[in-house]
Amino acid sequence: MPLHREPPLICEPDISGGLQPFWDLLARTIAICQPLADPANPHDCLRSPDHRPRTLESSYAAAVRTMAYGPRRRLSLPPEPDLTRGRLLVYYPDAELSDGAAEAESGGFFDVCNAPPWDTWVAMVTDLEAPEYQREQLISWVPDVFIPHVQRGIDVNPEECIVWLDESNTGFARLVAEDRARPG
């Protein structure tokens, strides 16, 4: 019987030993984002100016590393992340067309390039077996108050560079679903 093997994934944070580093960053992200989430201000409330990633980072992973390990993410680890109060989103930066439709429909939650706010970034995944335009995958957390905004953005996004992680067919989505389904 052939061995089951997940697609080769490179991730920031490093998940080669398991998904715990991802869950830890997600818990910190939720702890930061949930109180800041203001449905009256989707454009700015999760884009803290003091924590903006550098424009010319050396790579997508470096930009996420800046956010993931910056001062705000060094707070003590909160309890298990409450995944019922939001959803995970995947953004394929190499597939975006910068048409502004998702930005307009989401009330500014997405920027003109369809990127979610940087305070919500959790991980940068490179899936070496995905189509080239979907290899780079930014995983972010969407607080529950923004789910309708984000859905409207997804609905008008013709290139499909933003999708709910649990509705994607990515290797990372499968890993997250399997990890969550594990008992204990």
Domain ranges of the chain: 14-181
Tokens of 123: 């991980």
The region of weakest confidence among 67-71, 84-88, 178-182 is: 67-71
Instruction: Count the Cβ atoms, other than its own, within 10 Å of residue 124.
Output: 24
Residue carrying structure tokens 């998940």: 15
Four-point Cα dihedral 47, 48, 50, 56, nearest 10: -10
pTM of the model: 0.88
pLDDT at 51: 78
Buried b / exposed e along 150-175 (16+ C-beta atoms within 10 A): bebbbeebeeebbbbbeebebbbbeb
Percent of the chain with pLDDT over 90: 59
